Amino acid sequence: MAETTPSGAQATKFPAGEEKAQQDSQPGKEHQMQVKPETVPKHYKPSGKLEGKVALITGGDSGIGRAVAALFAMEGADVGITYVAGDEDKDAEDTVKLVGEVSQGKRKATKYAADLGFDENCKKVIDDFLKDHKRIDILVNHAGEQHACDNFEDLAPETVERTFRTNVFSQFFLTRYALAHMAEGSAIINTASVNAYKGNKTLIDYTASKGANVAFTRALALQLAPRNIRVNGVAPGPVWTPLITATFPEKKVASFGEETPLGRAGHPSEIAPAYVFLASADSSYITGQVIHPNGGMVVNA
């Protein structure tokens, strides 16, 4: 059975039954997982890299998004997160609580329920976020979903559209509305995937959408460079999040991540520091690039 290794901790085997704890909706619920992903690295020492900043993180209720929200708050940023109403209410509430805990009550966290695949919903999220926070310094386009399909002929048009609405359209729509409120020195970070570089035979629509995220990042970075708004991406490899138990059958979950050179899935705590780096002045000379925390898989960047 597969192992996960949270940073600074001993390897933890998925207990019997975790691989059978399938979830019936995307992108899954973290509070229902038996083995919880590690959110905050045990070794992490914040140093005020984002002091006074304001960040909006889509899909920030669980998994990598939750870890990014927590680390941003630890680094001094107020944060807002988006989530799917009903399915992810508890996860969103847990993330807001966590932000308060890790920042010792110093940072503000807000949450916004929305289906981001539609332009009008994205406009409302930005409008509501601005009412609460007045500006946007960092936009993290992270919300995503995936649907496994073994036979390409069975991939329904509505599934392809749904995947692209969440993974691609949302990044276009949100960024368009956010940009009017982002000043020089702001940062946009788009979540891609290792699958955009190596492919995935059972996630063809997802892989294509992540390729679009990479291309969007590179093109937008060129357009916004004169405004000194940096646009970069993160392409995680296999990471232990609720999206996994909401996507794959038990055999795949049980061996998830074993194909990496490190032989295991990563945890959100091991991915989120890349977002801190790209959001902070530490990456002031980096735009149009993608960071690859993927367990050692070599890709053509």
**Which residue in 161, 150, 148, 154 sits closest to 245, CA to CA?**
148
* Residue of 112, 177, 197, 206 with catalytic role: 206
Greater pLDDT, 179 or 247: 179
Identify the pLDDT of residue 5.
55
Identify the pLDDT of residue 134.
97
Residues 18-46: tens digit of each pLDDT? 444 454 565 666 555 667 788 999 999 99
Identify the pLDDT of residue 54.
98
Query: Is the per-residue pLDDT at 275 higher than 90?
Result: yes
Residues 190-242: tens digit of each pLDDT? 999 999 999 999 999 999 999 999 999 999 999 999 999 999 999 999 998 76
Greater pLDDT, 256 or 244: 256
Integer Cα distance of 148 and 203 in angstroms: 5
Identify the pLDDT of residue 9.
40
Integer Cα distance of 279 and 49 in angstroms: 9
Task: Using pLDDT thresholds of 50, 70 and 90, give the confidence band for residue 286.
Answer: very high
When the pLDDT of each residue in the chain is averaged and rounded to a whole number, the result is: 89
Strands 3-4 and 12-13: antiparallel
Q: For the chain, give the percent of residues with pLDDT over 70.
A: 84
| Domain 46-291: which CATH number of 3.40.50.620, 3.30.450.20, 3.40.50.720, 3.20.20.10 | 3.40.50.720
| Cα maximum dimension of the chain | 54
3-state secondary structure the chain: CCEECCCCCCCEECCCCHHHCCCCCCCCCHHHCCCCCCCCCCCCCCCCCCCCCEEEECCCCCHHHHHHHHHHHHCCCEEEEEECCCCCHHHHHHHHHHHHHHCCCCCCEEEEECCCCCHHHHHHHHHHHHHHHCCCCEEEECCCCCCCCCCHHHCCHHHHHHHHHHHHHHHHHHHHHHHCCCCCCCEEEEECCCHHHHCCCCCHHHHHHHHHHHHHHHHHHHHHHHHCCEEEEECCCCECCHHHHCCCCHHHHHCCCCCCCCCCEECHHHHHHHHHHHHCHHHCCCCCCEECCCCCCCCCC
For the chain, the distance separating the N- and C-terminal CA atoms, rounded to the nearest angstrom, is 31
Identify the pLDDT of residue 8.
45
Residues 157-171: tens digit of each pLDDT? 999 999 999 999 999
Sketch the domain layout of the chain as residue ranges: 46-291
Asked if 236 and 219 touch (Cβ cutoff 8 Å), the reply is no
Interval 147-154 mean pLDDT = 95
Query: Is the per-residue pLDDT at 139 higher than 90?
Result: yes
The residues, ordered by sequence, that sit 6+ positions from 244 with a Cβ below 8 Å of its Cβ are 28, 238, 253, 256, 265
| 44 labelled catalytic | no
Identify the pLDDT of residue 241.
73
Residues 78-129: tens digit of each pLDDT? 999 999 998 789 999 999 999 999 999 999 999 999 999 999 999 999 999 9
The residues, ordered by sequence, that sit 6+ positions from 8 with a Cβ below 8 Å of its Cβ are 41, 42, 43
Integer Cα distance of 170 and 115 in angstroms: 9
Identify the pLDDT of residue 35.
72
Interval 125-139 mean pLDDT = 98
Residue 61 in tokens: 């209720």
